[in-house]
Structure 1
Amino acid sequence: MKKSSRIASLGVFLALALMLGYVETLIPINFGVPGMKLGLANMAVVILLYLFTPGEAFLVSIVRIFLSGLLFGNGLSIIYSLAGGLLSFAVMLICFKTKKVKMIPLSVIGAVSHNAGQLIAAAFLVTNYNIVFYLPVLIIAGIITGIITGSLSAAVHSRLVKFK
Structure 2
Amino acid sequence: MRKVKGAVDTRKLVLISVLVAQGMVLGYIEKMLPIPFIVPGAKLGLANIITLTAIYFLNFKESSAVVLLRVFLTAATFGSLSSFLYSLSGGVLSLIAMAGLLKVFKDELSLISISIIGSISHNMGQLIVAAIIIHNVLILTYLPFLLIIAIPTGIFVGIVARALIQYLQKTNFIR
Question: TM-score category by the smaller chain?
Answer: over 0.9
**Counterpart residue number, 2:13:** 7
**Counterpart residue number, 1:24:** 30
Choose from 144, 149, 160 the match for 1:152.
Answer: 160
Choose from 62, 68, 78 the match for 2:68.
Answer: 62
**What's the CA shift for 1:142?**
1.0
**What's the CA shift for 1:27?**
0.9
Q: State how far apart, in whole Å, the 2-side matches of 1:50 and 1:89 are.
A: 11
Q: State how far apart, in whole Å, the 2-side matches of 1:6 and 1:84 are.
A: 25
Matched, 1:105 2:113: yes
Secondary structure of the residue aligned to 2:41 is coil
Q: State how far apart, in whole Å, the 1-side matches of 2:94 and 2:171 are.
A: 29
Structure whose CA Rg is larger: 2
**Counterpart residue number, 2:91:** 85
Q: Where do residues 98-137 of structure 1 align in structure 2 (5 Å cutoff)?
A: 98=104, 99=106, 100-137=108-145
CA-to-partner distance for each residue in 1:1-32, whole Å, 9 max, x for gaps? Answer: 97112101211111111111111111112323
Q: State how far apart, in whole Å, the 1-side matches of 2:96 and 2:78 are.
A: 25
Q: State how far apart, in whole Å, the 1-side matches of 2:61 and 2:163 are.
A: 23
RMSD of aligned residue pairs (Cα, Å): 1.5
Q: State how far apart, in whole Å, the 2-side matches of 1:31 and 1:50 are.
A: 30
Runs of 5+ unmatched residues, structure 2: none
Q: State how far apart, in whole Å, the 2-side matches of 1:88 and 1:149 are.
A: 13
Q: Where do residues 65-76 of structure 1 align in structure 2 (5 Å cutoff)?
A: 65-76=71-82
Matched, 1:52 2:58: yes
Q: State how far apart, in whole Å, the 2-side matches of 1:128 and 1:70 are.
A: 27
TM-score normalised to structure 1 length: 0.94
TM-score normalised to structure 2 length: 0.89
**What's the CA shift for 1:163?**
1.3
Q: State how far apart, in whole Å, the 2-side matches of 1:41 and 1:116 are.
A: 16
**What's the CA shift for 1:101?**
2.4
Runs of 5+ unmatched residues, structure 1: none
**Counterpart residue number, 1:34:** 40
Q: State how far apart, in whole Å, the 2-side matches of 1:151 and 1:34 are.
A: 25
Q: State how far apart, in whole Å, the 2-side matches of 1:65 and 1:72 are.
A: 10
